[in-house]
Amino acid sequence: MTQFTLTCPRCAAELSLTTRRLLVRIDAGTATSGEVLFTCLNCRRSEAVTIDVATAARLVTAGVTYLSLSEPDVDHPEPQPPGPRLTHDDLLDLHAALAGDTWHDELTGLAAETQ
């Protein structure tokens, strides 16, 4: 049975693991790198080591199970408020306004106008 030698990134133990004890994760889309995941026989922790595409190909060819995963596409958890996005210029304007002494009067005057 084919074995691969790895070094645990956590405890630095040199491990000789069979293909059954390894899992390769390949970046879908780019497929230029990936990780090999395994459980260390010394410290008993699950670890992942970044591998290049040639190493990933060698492992998969030897029979290691692989997953091809893309970056997660996460939806924004809150609905986006209406109106234009806040820009860096808006922040600079806010900073300049807050640095002065009149921002509170301007704000309360604005509130009085809208009532």
Binding site for Zn ion (CB under 5 A): 8, 10-11, 13, 40, 42-43
Measured from the CB atom, the residue of 11 and 107 that comes closer to Zn ion is 11
Measured from the CB atom, the residue of 49 and 57 that comes closer to Zn ion is 49
Q: Compute the least distance from the CB of residue 14 to Zn ion, in Å.
A: 10
By CB atoms closer than 10 A (0-12, 13-18, 19+), residue 104 is: exposed
Nearest to 41 by CA among 5, 66, 69: 5
Q: Compute the least distance from the CB of residue 55 to Zn ion, in Å.
A: 19
Measured from the CB atom, the residue of 12 and 96 that comes closer to Zn ion is 12
Structure tokens at 68: 């091809």
d(CA 42, CA 5) in angstroms, rounded, equals: 14
**63 Cβ neighbours under 8 A, 6+ residues apart:** 2, 19
Q: Compute the least distance from the CB of residue 3 to Zn ion, in Å.
A: 17
Measured from the CB atom, the residue of 43 and 69 that comes closer to Zn ion is 43
Q: Compute the least distance from the CB of residue 25 to Zn ion, in Å.
A: 19
Q: Which amino acid is at 47?
A: E
